[in-house]
Amino acid sequence: MSFAALAGFVVGALAVLFYRNQIEAPRRTVETDGVESGAALPQGVASVLAVLPSSAVVLDAHDRVLRASSAARAFGLVKGDRLMAAELLALARQVRRDGEIRESEIDVAGHKFGQETTNFAVRVAPLGTYGQVLVLAEDQTERRRVEAVRRDFVANVSHELKTPVGALSLLAETIQDAADDPEAVTRFAGRMQHEAARLNYLVQDLITLSRIQGAEPIPTPGQVSIDEAIHDAIDHCNTKAVAKDIALVSGGTEGLRIWGDDELLVTALRNLIDNAVAYSPEHTRVVVSVRPANDFVEISVSDQGIGIPEEALERIFERFFRVDAARSRATGGTGLGLAIVKHVAAAHAGEVSVWSKEGSGSTFTLRLPAFGGTAVAVPPSIPLETAK
């Protein structure tokens, strides 16, 4: 049910309660500066307000708070018997004067979870004949943030898809025009293969990201051998590394295992190693190391590359964010690799962190819960399904 529909239902229900109470059990009223005001809330109104998920406030004829939900106080909308949001107070006074229900959106300085501002959809309605006013405020900060992320994602995907699709179209036309030049056809066909591969990587990464971005638990987890996952990831990346004479080295504690999805772990490690190779100079090395850390297993990927500027460290796990856009596109990067790593870590109830210094390389560390609750090495002779 939408906020407007819920608010309409609540206003109607409360209006019925007010009407019934005024007919069946008229209340005594008090005079304050010549204005008649209900001394208290009618029976049943407090119970309705108590079960509302929204922030709810009832004001008397003098703008004093008769009733406020815990949510309204938690968000800082109410302090003591006062409504603190000036915009809401102004709306309440307008509603009291003309009896018209009003809806609006307001931003309030954050009082919850460290938010800078909280956005509310509000509905203000008159109650009864004593000048009382009902204020309903629905926190929609998270919904607006998600909508903004979705808009940015669609815009970024559209932009990223346009580049290889446009290049393929242009190259196809060029080949058609150069049909009598075998050398040109061969050269442009190679370019088409490169752009087609880039498009394929982008689609695959989008599919992977859509599968895991909800941070939902893995549907069919199992024991995952860290050694095998690292071996598979290195095998995937070896061709690119050999082309740049970059050595891929693994080390650390062998026989460690986690509880999760082996395919997702290999995908995360492949993305980290691919990034390390792409941003490293020739004749260097990339090291993948493993170590136990109490209840966790830590897998680190270190390179001797260009490093990451300090101001970019907080953004590198964002979708489509690139430290060096030109280099990333030149190497066929989609800008989704680190976002996938972050979501894979979250899906395993773990986390990913980064240390980097410009000119000195970077180290990305996956920290994942160990199988069985303790990081203990298992001899390779023991099958996955029987290891305890």
State residue 105's pLDDT score.
87
Q: Give CA angle at 14 (12, 18), nearest 5°.
A: 115
Q: What is the pLDDT of residues 102-140, one digit of tens each?
A: 988 888 876 554 456 888 889 998 887 778 888 998 888
Same domain, 129 and 226: no
Instruction: Identify the band that residue 335 occupies on the pLDDT scale cut at 50, 70 and 90.
Output: confident
Q: Secondary structure of 138-184 in the HEC alphabet? A: EECHHHHHHHHHHHHHHHHHHHHHHHHHHHHHHHHHHHHHCCCCHHH
Q: What is the pLDDT of residues 140-178, one digit of tens each?
A: 887 887 777 677 667 767 766 777 788 888 888 888 888
Q: Which of 205-219, 301-315, 340-354 has the lowest mean pLDDT?
A: 205-219
Same domain, 275 and 367: yes
Which range of residues forms the domain containing residue 98? 49-140
State residue 204's pLDDT score.
78
Whether residue 54 is contained in a domain is answered as yes
Q: What is the pLDDT of residues 11-31, one digit of tens each?
A: 554 444 444 444 444 443 333
How close are the terminal C-alpha atoms of the chain, in Å? 47
Same domain, 271 and 131: no
End position of a domain, from candidates 108, 140, 172? 140
Instruction: Identify the band that residue 283 occupies on the pLDDT scale cut at 50, 70 and 90.
Output: very high
**Between 10 and 237, residue with greater pLDDT:** 237
Q: What is the pLDDT of residues 29-45, one digit of tens each?
A: 333 333 333 446 655 66
CATH number, domain of 348, equals 3.30.565.10
Q: What is the pLDDT of residues 149-158, one digit of tens each?
A: 677 667 767 7
Q: What is the pLDDT of residues 94-107, one digit of tens each?
A: 999 988 999 888 88
Whether residue 296 is contained in a domain is answered as yes
Whether residue 160 is contained in a domain is answered as no
State residue 285's pLDDT score.
93
Same domain, 223 and 369: yes
Same domain, 126 and 244: no
Average pLDDT, the chain: 78
Tally of domains within the chain: 2
End position of a domain, from candidates 140, 168, 183? 140
